[in-house]
Amino acid sequence: MFTKLCTEIFDKSISNYHITDNVDTPIKNPFEKGSIEALLYHKNWIDTVQWHLEDIIRDPNISPVDALKIKRRIDASNQERTDMVEYIDSYFLDKFSTVEVSAEAKVNTESPAWAIDRLSILYLKVYHMKEETQRSGASEKHIDACTVKYNTLKEQDTDLTTAIDDLLTDMEQGKKYMKVYKQMKMYNDEELNPVLYKGKK
């Protein structure tokens, strides 16, 4: 199933990042450029770096100057993340382009790639919650609470991977079809963000 490929790649990306555990570590994508595997790895690498940027910016002792730099970096990362989701959806649009869609077919609440985006984030939650269940020096109460949360995340993993694979099967059989709406983010666009276009001369 497709989610097996996703989760194996997400595990590899997360493990590779934590070799250095540094947000400035350059990506070394092990997959062929342009392949769906490379897209999935790149997507999760972006998510993993952003996860740790979000941790850094919450340091109560961070300087305002450094916080602003991190915030700008997170904004850029969000844009790149959205772009990667759209590239992955383009893969599915091409894959299912010749499928004969049933007259009773319905559109799904989200595209396959946005569901895979949620799966990528979920795998980061699983990784870091598992770390908390094994954290040296943590109280028994903390370990027990994190173990409960970890088990819930693993249940979500089962539910989400099943739902994604079911969606892809339905699309392959013409029972559902894709509609992709570009995200049309406005905050980075000089023509759409009033703070930016009002400042233009």
What does the chain look like in DSSP terms, one character per residue?
A: -HHHHHHHHHHHHHHHHHHHT-TTPPP---S-TTSHHHHHHHHHHHHHHHHHHHHHHT-TT--HHHHHHHHHHHHHHHHHHHHHHHHHHHHHHHHTTT----TT-EE-SS-HHHHHHHHHHHHHHHHHHHHHHT-TT--HHHHHHHHHHHHHHHHHHHHHHHHHHHHHHHHHTTSEE---------TT-TTT-HHHHTT--
Q: With cut-offs at 50, 70 and 90, classify the pLDDT of residue 188.
A: low
**Is residue 174 pLDDT above 80, yes or no?**
yes
pLDDT at 195: 62
Q: With cut-offs at 50, 70 and 90, classify the pLDDT of residue 186.
A: low
Q: Kindly state the tokens that stand for 69.
A: 């730099």
Beta carbons of 164 and 3 less than 8 angstroms apart: yes
Q: Where are the domains of the chain?
A: 2-190
Give the position of tokens 């173990």. Answer: 147
Contacts of 31 (CB under 8 A, 6+ apart): 9, 37, 38, 41
Interatomic CA distance for residues 183 and 82, integer angstroms: 7
Q: With cut-offs at 50, 70 and 90, classify the pLDDT of residue 185.
A: low
Percent of the chain exceeding pLDDT 90 equals 87
Instruction: Choose among 22, 19, 83: nearest CA to 30.
Output: 19
Once rounded to an integer, what is the mean pLDDT over residues 40-67? 97
For residue range 68-104, list pLDDT tens digits in order: 999 999 999 999 999 999 999 999 999 999 999 999 9
- Please state the separation of Cα 111 from the chain's center in Å: 13
Instruction: Check: pTM over 0.85? Answer yes or no.
Output: yes
Of residues 117 and 182, more confidence is placed in 117
